């Protein structure tokens, strides 16, 4: 959960060369082309994975340039640890996040540090992610998970495989909509995704293209037609959220203290300020988009790895049977006791952090790693799939899926700031505990109910739309009967 302390703004500087006086010390890809930059061999459809490939060859800090735009990237654990120091660095709204500002503007995720609505919204909404509030969301999470298992039971009965990313997207959208805003999109009752999801995927893909391509080239790939589609998608997202907010205001009845209630009714405890309706819309969009897109990806990657590693799935399933026993609906407290299942989730987020990067800007002139001078406002992008694969931290086989990397003693033995799937510092994800509780609960329910088997020959392919998601992932299901836990374990709640 984010800190409530104020965040200082980092002042931008005019150019990367002024920001990094010794840019020449930072390597860049070979075969740089005058005027064009590092375009040869670039995969513009998968820029994150392309950057990981380049970074593994270039080292812990490197740079890339397309036309006049150049960026410094960091993947090494030591440098990422420095950038996580709140006394020296703060969040920077990098191009990937800036691409969402036409939609979310000063929402929690996309706000600049100096924009007052960030602190106001944070302080108003932070109690909505307290332990007490989380326990209140648990019942709705179970209800939505029940709709998922009903769907998967029907697919199993019909002899069909299940669309994992599609169904996880439905699950997480319905969960945040129900728990946060008292709204039901009816996702599991639809043959096609809800129009909100189509518009969201369309807009994220559009924003990804705008980030991946500089302005001179962006017009060559879709041009005005792509801009119009992006505008239509943004309008549908805004209209959908406006309808949800209007219905709550017109109804005049509280929503059981959910996030929307807090946005509409809660004043800042110190200043008495309230969020404007425009800002409420931006916060709702932020939670609906960021709050379900990343969690659906995390669940999808975890289910992929469980299907590929039956020995790990068996160990996780044994824990679920032992801890939950034969209770029909696990209680809130029982979810946190699935420690191995949580390790599976963490290891999935290590390999494929669904929000794959965050940017940090210098608060004052400083030197990074004792070698690289940075002017005030200079910024670098921490590439999480590189940080999470640094062999100096994760050993000689960082690509190997091993949940025991997150056994308590192993976590204590690692330096801080080497695992950052939810960002860092005061601007880290406010909904981290919400996402982890939801994902652990759902994995436990699915492991208890099904054996999940991969399609023959499937190899993981990762799509990018600012977030990361497995592509074309379908699983075969077999129903199972859970083994009851030993009586003494059930009584002890273990």
Residue 185 annotated among the catalytic residues of the structure? no
Q: How far apart are CA 288 and CA 443, in angstroms?
A: 21
Joined tokens for residue 265: 């009714």
Helix (H) or strand (E) holding 382, with range, is: strand 379-383
Q: How far apart are CA 439 and CA 391, in angstroms?
A: 28
Dihedrals phi, psi of 51, to nearest 5 degrees? -65, -40
Pair 409, 268: CB distance under 8 Å: no
Residue 429 annotated among the catalytic residues of the structure? yes
Residue 197 contacts by C-beta under 8 Å, 6 or more apart in sequence? 169, 170, 173, 185, 187
Contacts 24+ apart (CB under 8 A), 157-162: 161/455, 161/474, 161/475, 161/476, 161/477, 162/474, 162/475, 162/477
Pair 40, 31: CB distance under 8 Å: yes
Pair 263, 124: CB distance under 8 Å: yes
Contacts 24+ apart (CB under 8 A), 25-31: 25/371, 25/372, 26/61, 26/62, 26/63, 26/72, 26/372, 27/58, 27/59, 27/61, 27/62, 27/63, 28/58, 28/62, 28/63, 28/64, 28/65, 29/54, 29/57, 29/58, 29/62, 29/64
Strand, helix or coil for residue 463 = strand
Residue 354 annotated among the catalytic residues of the structure? no
Helix (H) or strand (E) holding 233, with range, is: helix 223-251
Catalytic residue among 181, 287, 406, 422: 422
Q: How far apart are CA 399 and CA 391, in angstroms?
A: 10
Joined tokens for residue 294: 């990343």
Catalytic residue among 172, 294, 354, 424: 294
Catalytic residue among 62, 172, 286, 429: 429
Q: How far apart are CA 22 and CA 17, in angstroms?
A: 8
Q: How far apart are CA 302 and CA 473, in angstroms?
A: 12
Dihedrals phi, psi of 26, to nearest 5 degrees? -100, 120
Q: What pairs with residue 63 in β-bridges?
A: 72
Q: How far apart are CA 422 and CA 95, in angstroms?
A: 18
Pair 345, 74: CB distance under 8 Å: no
Task: Name the residues annotated as catalytic.
Answer: 294, 422, 429
């Amino acid at each position: 959960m984010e800190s409530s302390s104020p965040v200082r703004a980092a002042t931008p500087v005019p150019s990367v060369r002024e920001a990094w006086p010794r840019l020449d010390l930072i390597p860049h890809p070979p075969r740089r082309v005058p005027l064009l930059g590092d375009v040869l061999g670039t995969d513009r459809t998968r820029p994150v994975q392309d950057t990981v490939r380049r970074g593994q060859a270039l080292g812990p800090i490197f740079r890339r340039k397309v036309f006049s735009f150049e960026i410094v990237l960091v993947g090494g654990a030591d440098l990422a640890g420095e950038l996580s120091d709140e006394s020296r660095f703060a969040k920077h709204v990098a191009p990937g996040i800036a691409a969402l500002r036409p939609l979310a503007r000063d929402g929690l995720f996309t706000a600049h540090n100096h924009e007052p609505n960030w602190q106001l919204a944070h302080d108003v909404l932070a109690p909505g992610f307290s332990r007490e509030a989380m326990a209140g969301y648990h019942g709705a999470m179970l209800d939505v998970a029940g709709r998922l298992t009903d769907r998967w039971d029907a697919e199993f009965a019909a002899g069909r495989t299940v669309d994992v990313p599609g169904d996880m997207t439905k699950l997480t959208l319905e969960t945040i909509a129900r728990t946060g805003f008292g709204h039901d999109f009816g996702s599991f009752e639809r043959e096609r995704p809800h129009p909100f999801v189509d518009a969201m995927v369309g807009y994220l893909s559009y924003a990804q293209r705008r980030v991946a391509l500089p302005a001179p080239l962006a017009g060559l790939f879709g041009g005005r037609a792509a801009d119009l589609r992006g505008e239509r998608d943004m309008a549908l997202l805004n209209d959908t959220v406006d309808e949800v907010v209007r219905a709550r205001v017109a109804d005049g009845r509280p929503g059981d203290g959910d996030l929307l209630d807090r946005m509409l009714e809660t004043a800042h405890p110190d200043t008495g300020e309230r969020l404007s309706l425009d800002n409420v819309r931006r916060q709702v969009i932020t939670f609906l988009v960021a709050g379900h897109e990343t969690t659906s990806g995390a669940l999808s990657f975890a289910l992929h790895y469980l299907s590929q590693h039956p020995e790990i799935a068996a160990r996780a399933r044994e824990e679920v049977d032992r801890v939950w026993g034969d209770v029909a609906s696990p209680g809130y407290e029982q979810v946190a006791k699935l420690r191995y299942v949580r390790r599976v989730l963490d290891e999935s987020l290590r390999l494929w952090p669904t929000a794959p990067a965050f940017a940090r800007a210098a608060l004052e002139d400083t030197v990074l790693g004792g070698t690289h001078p940075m002017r005030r406002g200079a910024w670098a992008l921490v590439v999480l799939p590189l940080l999470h694969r640094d062999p100096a931290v994760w050993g000689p086989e960082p690509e190997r899926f091993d949940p025991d990397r997150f056994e308590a003693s192993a976590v204590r033995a690692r330096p801080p700031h080497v695992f950052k799937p939810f960002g860092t510092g005061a601007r880290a994800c406010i909904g981290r505990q919400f996402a982890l509780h939801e994902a652990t609960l759902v994995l436990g329910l699915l492991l208890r109910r099904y054996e999940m088997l991969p399609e023959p020959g499937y190899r993981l392919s990762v799509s990018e739309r600012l977030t990361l998601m497995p592509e074309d992932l379908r699983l075969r299901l077999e129903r199972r009967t859970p083994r009851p836990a030993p009586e003494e374990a059930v009584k002890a709640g273990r």
